[in-house]
Structure 1
């Protein structure tokens, strides 16, 4: 460490595990720069596993304040507990060093920059992450502990809750337990010397959060077929990249890890895992149903799984309601698939306060990418999220979207979110094609959330085939009743609410109108319009 004339210029002492290989002179550009950055991340990950990360905070101190007093001021200003492991004072600054586990506290202190008043001046605070140079070594794992857990006939090594074994008491102080690179290397070395023909390895319940320390496992245990990492702390499936060398693994157990809470469904889960274990046959003791070809679709396949409604979310109350939904969607998509001119005719369907949000995640490049959906900007976009309001702007947007051919409406997945006398709101998902000249059509997945409200007779929203289907569907849903019979009480109440909202009559007169027309909603509406035109409805019908 060098000092300037007055100690103002202090050379940084950050020491990083050597990552110059592939780093070149660049600034992270090109293959060499990218490789250098990747090695840098690996080096930091290894250092974290070994507990060799520290955080150093430089606090300006021109008034020559006492270090203990200043630290007391800092600790009183943050909520995260932490411990100073080293303090150093220069002419104008004080350096506080925190341990690697105090990252949150260090970042909280950094946020006090120019906000902390130290002896009448606003302190400048700088944060530096220090990765201590160290080479990976190995600790000696007590052989009696491993021998008691090894079955030579089955070539099976059982290491559940290994760090809680009485024989491992001397190693419990190691940071990160079995995720510590020194502990992992010790176990791998023991396997190499004593049971390199290992077939089954069980590492259940060892609080493993990262697998970076286990990257040598596959090169040592080349016959490893069954691997259990159940009930650990793995939060991201990308951790499996460190086990790519375990090429013979066909049975993998990951259940009980937090990462499973992020999986939308089994198919997406399998596709993610197959990226790293291409020969996998059983995952969490269940057969793999996803093919390797499907897994190679990568993010696009996962995106499709996220877009489509899972079976457990498909909920339509009655067959009659489903048929009404199918009838509406068939007419709507027929017009939508008819091209720009046909889509323009959908304008009358949208109410004045209607809104349409178009969300298209990134799904590829060139003809499969976003260019065909980017109607609002000339710039390349990673995703599209556009909201339009009002019939005119909505139709102007959909007119410029690619031509489509939706699948049969009867095959779509549907989920009714809300259904009452005022509106019907539902989700619908499925597939559609994008025809392309001189090329095969693209197949895409979609999900829409649609809200349909009954329109007033004679309004623009009530005209047209799809308009009639939409308004008629909302009415018929509320009026659904056995042919020739009287609907149940709940349905009657919905019909009364809908007629009251449409006509302005109170509930008593709406009930009488429906009852006098045999609980036929359309007949009740027609009767109301006839009586209203003749001035035969008393004023008290419109009072609450």
Structure 2
């Protein structure tokens, strides 16, 4: 009578082989007892989770059933009502093949050692015809025959061959398929075999090394040298660096490569590498090539990788690859069109860094005086005096955002920009056009009122970086960045800012701000380490650009009127007669003339003849 809990376990382990095969004519009946407390077989688990943990400890069995067995409570009542009658025979659930995460599969033939290798392989190939496969690393372990395949389709067909092939002795061949990779211990002997195999694959004339499908090389048939294993790849790179450091071309096609992080060392160990083939591998994303970006590649082959199929537009694929490898001339075997760039030598030196830039040195005194007066009022107790600094139709816009890693993590309380974020016009934050328009301040009263509500400050004038970009009689464009401290906030937090002023002449012979844009953010570590000073603003003499090297003489009133007349005609499209009338009626105030034109034009009050030239 068979022992309770018997039956051949389906989870085969190393050095564990079965002492019987299933004959085609064998028909045994096994009784099952469902008495409570009598489950004492070898496959006893306290819970289904315990059973799963036991399976995970071994290689992954590619068979799957409909789910875990559900224990029956109490005994089984037979047709006659007698307890503990034999359970009715259930239909066996068909097992399904499950694709494993690894590209290799172990094939186990229990009791295959008693047959010749050729007999077993011939029987499998006959069953799978016309499919063929290569049995890697065929060996025997106890009574079992073991080999590996590296194709999921072949592994599935071998899985389906289980118990369907009759052997000469009358037994059906049992075929067990597991997702498992052959093991190898990297030692000096293995490294020497790798070196000799790589030597025969090297072309000294072209300085090229062909490592295509390296693990399948006939000279490595007894060991598993897979380059997708980082330890093997790093050993191969060390051999290259030691013996062929001037290598220029490397072919790594069809090696089942996935992660490439460990290949970052290629740029330091093989500095002359310019051609790299990575086709027919398993590289999932273009970002996986990031460790190779420092290689001066002129040719790259990626066809056959999943990353290529992620691009629906081939031009975008080429563009994104070129961003990582700017010197690339050939991709996937096709010559690339010349890249659009600047004809600048690689060793060209940039001009020296300047803290400030002045397009015209004659504007140095004016800029210094203007900024000193402006921020003296801005940092005072009351900002109402700034009304004189702004044009009647001035506009003001402010944006605020956290920079660096602080945009991904809550900043400390002292560094938060709550006073600015709520009224920020950041285009990425405020998407509603009407809301964005309401946050734009128009008119000097609205601008100064808004500025007065911002926290009180003191600016580090000595640390300002000032750029004078436009300096003409009709317009001045001035940008600056630096730091300030909030004097009315607890702990006096420091802020970083960037500001742009567009300045125009006013009717009183002075200057007014027509447009003001402010950006506020948290300070960087470099800004926090610099000492905070409140001294006088200093603008070092800057070298002017050649086009405006000589300062222009101050224009006469007639020249100024002529210039404004031309600017108004360009912006409005009106002819000279109507432009002249508009400027005369506004007292030759260009900005006011433009404002009135826009208002009348929107109301349809400007006749068509004003645009006839």
Give the TM-score normalised by structure 1: 0.37
Give the TM-score normalised by structure 2: 0.34
Work out which of the two has the higher radius of gyration on C-alpha atoms and give 1 or 2: 2
